[in-house]
Amino acid sequence: MMDGDNYLSIIESIKNNITGISVRKLTIKNKGIYILFITHITNRDSLSENIIKPLLQYNGSQTLTAESIINSVIYIDDVFYAEDENKITDYILEGKSIIIISESSKYIVVNTSKSEKRNIQSPEVEASIKSPRDAFNENLDSNLSLIRHRIKDSSLKLDYHVVGVRTKTSVVLVYLEDVANSKYVAAIQKRINEINVDGILESGYILKWLSNKDASLFPQIGVSERSDSACANILEGRICILVDGSNLALIAPKNFIGFLDSGEDHYDNNYVGKFVKFLRFLCLILSLTLSALYVTIVAYQPEIMPAQYILALASSRIQVPINAVTEAVMMEVMMELLREANLRLPQQIGSSISIVGTIVIGQAAVYAGIVSPLMVIIVALSSMASFAVGDYSVINPIRLLKFFMIFISAIFGLYGFVMGLTIVVIKIISVTSFGIPYTAPLVPFNFKDLKNFFSSNIFTNKERPDFLKPKDKNR
């Protein structure tokens, strides 16, 4: 409890501990009132108009106390009084203003925080044609408002946590209390409460803490930039995790085929949606296996191809001085270099560098006789296939595993190719996300959930997925 007699020493101590703090002293009816705030994270207009101005204009006969100031003087909605002097510093660092009244054991906490933020803009990570254009930004309140705007349900639960010893970052779990399985909610809450680090600067930090500790290559937590996609996952019974300072929401639990889903599939024609999902699944396989299959055929089993194709392949490789393995690895590494360069370059020149680099380097390599034309086609097709998947986070492990597939195929040929593919499938099947089988509803097989996933039809999909074990199965 704050001692009303030593308020000046408390103020002096706070000024010495916090750099940049401002103290505004008012004298009203012979009573000293001190307002403590940090200028650059405080809304000074609100502070002046809603707190300082009404206090200076107060001419009532009632003695000013914490209760009377809150109830009768200041014009602000988010305000309360407290007594613990040890929490004053934390409140000020959050952007709140503290009103200390002389000779009073209570102080007033007023929410006048201000943070710089971007306007609501179109999504960049999850770009689409038929979808809303509002995407999350780095402001937590803006992101919560986008979800509240779409889900007007009293059972929508916002579970606040503060994570990071020094950053004190706000993390919010958003879910439907009467739909989401309590077991998954409790598991996420437990892992968040166990986080003990200096700071959380982005949702990627939380993602690593929530993922299983088996160092699995495959992501077990989904990432969403679009508010409509996050709301769709919440309605299915998943939990959305928002982190203050991050424009990407986390979605848990997440299964493997969920990464192949796109919000646009639910807005388009049902048959088109089915076709696109099958196409994404095919693209995932092509991105993983194309280069390894090329190495297998060229180095070990060319006889599995028709005779005319064998002759065409042989003629295209006459001028190539390196073996198929070196050729495939060299081209895949070059494509990864172009991909990374395109990400790091400024947006104005990134696309042109990507196109010029691919065309010029590929054609030059063919004319120089370093690689065959077929290898250039295969690498380009593999790279394009990787961009067709709905959630790009599932492609990152594929980028690594395709080199594993190339090397194991180079050592054991067709047997190595089959063995490598089997190892990848076994690894995927062995992963779980908060107890949910990663490959559900494929393994264990559930025809209804699988059909509902591919159909994406709101008229026929009347139940939520069984593998999520929601409290309310009916949509």
Specify the pLDDT at position 11: 86
Please give the helix or strand (H or E) that residue 23 lies within, else none.
strand 21-28
Say if 264 falls within a structural domain. Answer: no
Domain count, the chain: 3
Q: Do 355 and 399 lie in a common domain? A: yes
Specify the pLDDT at position 214: 59
Backbone angle region of 62, left / alpha / beta, with phi > 0 → left and psi within -120 to 50 → alpha? beta
Q: Do 412 and 284 lie in a common domain? A: yes
Q: Which amino acid is at 415?
A: Y
Task: Enter the tokens of residue 381.
Answer: 């097709």
Say if 119 falls within a structural domain. Answer: no
The CA angle 305-309-313, to the nearest 5 degrees, is: 105
Per-residue pLDDT for 130 more than 80?
no
- 31-38/222-224 β-pairing: unpaired
Domain limits for position 40: 7-110
Specify the pLDDT at position 1: 58
Specify the pLDDT at position 350: 56
Say if 1 falls within a structural domain. Answer: no
Specify the pLDDT at position 391: 74
What mean pLDDT is predicted for residues 400-411?
A: 94
Q: Do 223 and 312 lie in a common domain? A: no
Say if 236 falls within a structural domain. Answer: yes
Domain stops at, among 254, 277, 300: 254
For the chain, the average pLDDT equals 86
The radius of gyration of the chain from alpha carbons, rounded to an integer in Å, stands at: 29
Q: Do 194 and 317 lie in a common domain? A: no
Confidence bin at 420 (pLDDT 50/70/90) = very high
What mean pLDDT is predicted for residues 309-335?
A: 84
Q: Do 147 and 44 lie in a common domain? A: no
Q: Which residues make beta-bridge pairs with 249? A: 224
pLDDT per residue as tens digits for the range 224-239: 999 999 999 999 999 9
Q: Do 148 and 83 lie in a common domain? A: no
Please give the helix or strand (H or E) that residue 396 lies within, else none.
helix 395-412
Q: Do 179 and 279 lie in a common domain? A: no
Please give the helix or strand (H or E) that residue 223 lies within, else none.
strand 222-224
pLDDT per residue as tens digits for the range 19-41: 888 999 998 888 889 999 998 88
**Candidate from 6-10, 198-202, 374-378 with smallest mean pLDDT:** 6-10
Which residue would you say has higher pLDDT here, 318 or 419? 419
Say if 116 falls within a structural domain. Answer: no
d(CA 222, CA 52): 46
Say if 128 falls within a structural domain. Answer: no
Residues 170 and 160: beta-carbon distance below 8 Å: yes
* Helices and strands, number each (H, E), in the chain: 17, 12
Q: Which amino acid is at 61?
A: S
Mean pLDDT is highest, among 262-266, 301-305, 344-348, 404-408, for 404-408
Name the 3-class secondary structure at 317: coil
Per-residue pLDDT for 416 more than 90?
yes
Task: Enter the tokens of residue 227.
Answer: 């508010």
Residues 10 and 2: beta-carbon distance below 8 Å: yes
Tell me which DSSP letter residue 183 carries.
H
d(CA 138, CA 463): 34
Specify the pLDDT at position 2: 59
Q: Is the dihedral of CA 121, 137, 89, 31 positive or negative?
A: positive
Per-residue pLDDT for 285 more than 90?
yes
Q: Give pTM, 2 decimals.
A: 0.86
Q: Do 83 and 147 lie in a common domain? A: no
Q: Do 102 and 217 lie in a common domain? A: no
Per-residue pLDDT for 352 more than 60?
no
Specify the pLDDT at position 356: 61
Q: Do 220 and 94 lie in a common domain? A: no
Specify the pLDDT at position 304: 82
Strands (E), 355-467: 432-433, 436-437
- Closest residue by Cα to residue 332 from 282, 283, 295, 369: 295
Per-residue pLDDT for 450 more than 80?
yes
**Candidate from 9-13, 83-87, 303-307 with smallest mean pLDDT:** 303-307
Task: Enter the tokens of residue 31.
Answer: 């009573």
pLDDT per residue as tens digits for the range 356-400: 666 677 777 777 778 888 888 888 888 888 888 767 788 889 989
The proportion of the chain whose per-residue pLDDT surpasses 70, expressed as a percent, equals 95
Residues 73 and 58: beta-carbon distance below 8 Å: yes
Residues 38 and 20: beta-carbon distance below 8 Å: yes
Say if 470 falls within a structural domain. Answer: no
Q: Which amino acid is at 210?
A: L
Say if 447 falls within a structural domain. Answer: no
Burial of 347 per CB tally in 10 Å (0-12, 13-18, 19+): exposed
d(CA 293, CA 301): 10
Q: Do 283 and 380 lie in a common domain? A: yes
Q: Is the dihedral of CA 313, 318, 322, 323 positive or negative?
A: positive
Per-residue pLDDT for 179 more than 90?
yes
Strands (E), 83-213: 97-101, 107-110, 156-163, 169-176
Q: How many CA within 13 A on the CB side of residue 372? A: 24
Residues 292 and 402: beta-carbon distance below 8 Å: yes
d(CA 254, CA 468): 9
d(CA 239, CA 231): 10
Per-residue pLDDT for 347 more than 80?
no
Specify the pLDDT at position 4: 56
What mean pLDDT is predicted for residues 244-271?
A: 87
Q: Do 205 and 229 lie in a common domain? A: yes
